[in-house]
Structure 1
Amino acid sequence: MNIIRKSLITAILASGLAFNATASSAAPDEKDYVAYLFTYFTGNHIKQEAVCYGISLDGYNYYALNDNKPVLDSKVISSTGGVRDPHILRGADGKTFYMVLTDMVSGNGWDSNRAMVLLKSNDLINWKSSVVNMQKRYDNQEKLKRVWAPQTIYDDKAGKYLVYWSMKYGDGPDVIYYAYANDDFTDFEGEPKPFFLPADKKSCIDGDIVYKDGVYHLFYKTEGHGNGIKVATTDNLTSGKWTEQPDYKQQTTDAVEGAGTFKLIGEDKYILMYDVYTNGRYDFTETTDLTNFKKVERPVTMDFHPRHGTVIPITKAELDAVTARWGMPEALKKK
């Protein structure tokens, strides 16, 4: 097994050398990706509510960078001193990165937060951050109770970055809202608008959108009823017209949250991962059509325990940069 893994690592790292020189000047093609970057936080304590990085060379076996310690200081970037639910996106230009976070310390209560954090980077290491407090930014927000799990997608029709997240007002359901970010990714243009609420009008949180073959697939958690992951689809992000699939997508009877979906490099296969938060594990399932899922048959390993994170593919140059900054994990050095 060690020989096989060593050969795999050697082959993957070597494959990046040919395009390393141009990786920073042009958007990478899928063939340019050689590894995966996992952004996550680790728990419900202020010291654990921070952004961490992990890397994988095959999409299944992950190793923490920086000894599983934060790569960003929550006290610097947030208004509460803690952040959760990191979502990272490679921009449309291929070389700018966007991250959004829940600005929250869970110890203050699940209805305590009113803000999110917007970040932008050109190198995955140095980030410019801004806090958007919904209650201070907009009028008539007295009944706002929480702002949870923002994510970002590029809306090609609008030519803008669309941020979507869930909010709860008073005794109402958690509803997913959206707003377009400004050019600097420091604030929103206009007021948030409702994005998605299931036909049954019950709470939904943890939205995660995957675009495939002209269709947007929205994965979401049915908060407080079922506590699982469902999917709704549309061909127009802001039309408000969604087709809901009736079945739950998780392959477990345990409660789950924090859906994160990513495509495997060089394969017509997607991984849907989720946080099995009731018993401390993280499950991976796979699909080719984003409709039918099965548990991953091969072993999935992590030398850290993530909470609600996301995975993106990265190039050889980007892998070199993050490991130069935070060190190559010892487990990979030995293989």
Structure 2
Amino acid sequence: MKRSVLSLLAFLILVGVKAHTTVSRDKDYAAYLFVYFTGNTGAEESVRYAISNNGYSYYALNGNEPVLDSKVISSTGGVRDPHILRGADGKTFYMVLTDMVCANGWDSNRAMVLLKSTDLINWKHSVVNIQKRYKGQEDLKRVWAPQTIFDKKAGKYMIYWSIQYGAGADVIYYAYANKDFTDLEGEPKPLFLPANGKSCIDGDIIYKDGVFHLFYKTEGHGNGIKKATTRSLTSGKWTEQEDYKQQTKEAVEGAGVFKMINSNKYILMYDVYMKGKYQFTESTDLDHFKVIDNEVKMNFHPRHGTVIPITRKELKALTDKWGKPEGL
């Protein structure tokens, strides 16, 4: 009996510690980091940083100049569509990029860039060229917008991106990264293809209440953002929603979803690329969104990027490196 009571007490203490750790980590977050690129020419196809104290007002670091040299980290000399992820350990960061210079043509790229960091400033990088890495890739036309999510079930980091072969539809594929985050393991496999068999790109997955929510762009047939859900990333069983999630009639791409710190609110942002604008929308259920553009301010013009929360210590390190922006 005594042993059972002690075991129960130990269990309750452990649960309490875990719960406290989770809450404490969220409470440690003090700001937001926006990672983005800015356009289709020269140095615009580079990684840039902006920071925010509240998730609505963003200020570019380094005078809106690149924080990484595209010519060093890529095979083409340019990078686009940066996606950043805080690792499961809470202190390692993973970034993936489209390795591409659009001046070479929209179907010119075959590779992605993988980066890993422990301080958001110094990054180890590698290039994975899908056409060179795998056999049977002669008809590969493009490798677009990679992103990363930690697959808890597999205990690995999943990289997912869109591929087009020949005249076929763009399909979102996935593969797991190796332990060092320098290469892919195994053959890429399809992750998601809408029931209509048409193209989808720019996938962005967020996990909420046991469900994975995939936001994606309907490329070439509407150019808007739709959503599909699943409880298992690799099951192939997705529930699609028919409605578009963007709150504009303009063409959009590059959906990015993030949760507000210590809040039940989620932000869905996207690139209104034909108008040179970015739109922010807000939701508590990831189904219904309202425009909050009047609350958002940026002293730069981003293209397809992502936002993550950062700690006060991480914020200080970034501003120590690139200076504190005026207005922050």
Q: Which residue of 1 aligns with 2:256?
A: 260
RMSD of aligned C-alpha atoms?
A: 1.0
Q: Which amino acid aligns with 1:128?
A: K
1:146 to 142, 147, 160: 142
Aligned length: 307
2:71 aligned residue (75, 91, 101): 75
Give the corresponding residue for 1:61. Answer: 57
For 1:196 and 1:147, locate their aligned partners in 2 and report how far apart those are by CA, in whole Å.
15
Q: Using the alignment, how far apart are the partners of 1:271 and 1:61 within structure 2?
A: 13
CA offset digits 1:5-41 (Å, max 9, x no partner)? xxxxxxxxxxxxxxxxxxxxx9861111010000000
Contact kept in structure 1, 2:280 and 2:293, CA below 8 Å: no
Residue 237 of structure 1: aligned partner: 233
1:289 aligned onto 2:285: yes
Which residue is 1:227 aligned to? 223
Using the TM superposition, name which of 194-203 and 293-302 deviates more.
293-302
On the 8 A contact 2:172/2:200 being kept in 1, the answer is yes
2:190 corresponds to: 194
Residue 266 of structure 1: how far off its partner (Å): 1.1
- Provide the secondary structure at the position in 1 that maps to 2:63: helix
**Structure 2: distance between partners of 1:225 and 1:285:** 22
Match of 2:84 in 1: 88
Match of 2:326 in 1: 330
Look up the equivalent residue of 1:174 and give its one-letter code.
D
Looking at structure 2, the residues matched to 166 and 224 of structure 1 have their Cα atoms a distance apart, in angstroms, of: 14
2:286 corresponds to which letter in structure 1?
A: L
Contact 1:46–1:106, Cα closer than 8 Å, also in 2: no
Identical counterparts, % of pairs:
76
Distance 1:162 1:245 in 2: 24
User: Which of these two proteins has the greater Rg computed from alpha carbons?
Assistant: 2
Can you list the C-alpha shifts for 1:144-178, whole angstroms capped at 9, x where unaligned?
00000000000000000000000000000000000
Q: Secondary structure at the match of 1:47?
A: helix
Could you list the runs of 4 or more consecutive aligned residues of structure 1 that deviate by over 3 angstroms after TM superposition? Answer: none
Is 1:279 the counterpart of 2:275? The answer is yes
1:156 counterpart = 2:152: yes
Matched with 1:16 is none
Classify the secondary structure of the residue corresponding to 1:331: coil
Contact 2:252 2:270 in 1 (8 A): yes
User: C-alpha separation between the residues in 2 aligned to 1:154 and 1:106?
Assistant: 30
In the alignment, structure 1 segments of 5+ residues that lack a partner are 1-25
Q: How does 1:125-136 map to 2 (within 5 A)?
A: 125-136=121-132
Counterpart in 2 of 1:123? 119
2: CA distance between counterparts of 1:57 and 1:260?
18
C-alpha separation between the residues in 1 aligned to 2:71 and 2:294? 39
Distance verdict in 2 for CA 1:83–1:297, change over 3 Å: closer
2:12 aligned partner = none
CA drift at 1:47: 1.2
AA matched with 1:100: V
* Counterpart residue number, 2:311: 315
Superposition deviation, residue 46 in structure 1: 2.2
**Secondary structure, aligned partner of 1:180:** strand
Is 1:100 matched up with 2:96?
yes
**Residue ranges of structure 2 left out of the alignment (5+ in a row):** 1-20
Q: Residue 305 of structure 1 aligns to which amino acid in structure 2? A: H
| Alpha-carbon displacement from aligned partner over 1:166-225 (angstroms, at most 9, x marks no partner) | 000000000000000000000011010000010000000000001000000000000000
Residues 297, 273 of structure 1: alpha-carbon distance in 2 compared, 3 angstrom cutoff:
closer
- Give the partner amino acid of 2:248: T
Match of 2:175 in 1: 179
1:35 is aligned to 31
1:298 CA displacement: 4.2
Shift of 1:299: 2.0
The TM-score, its normalising length taken from structure 2, stands at 0.92
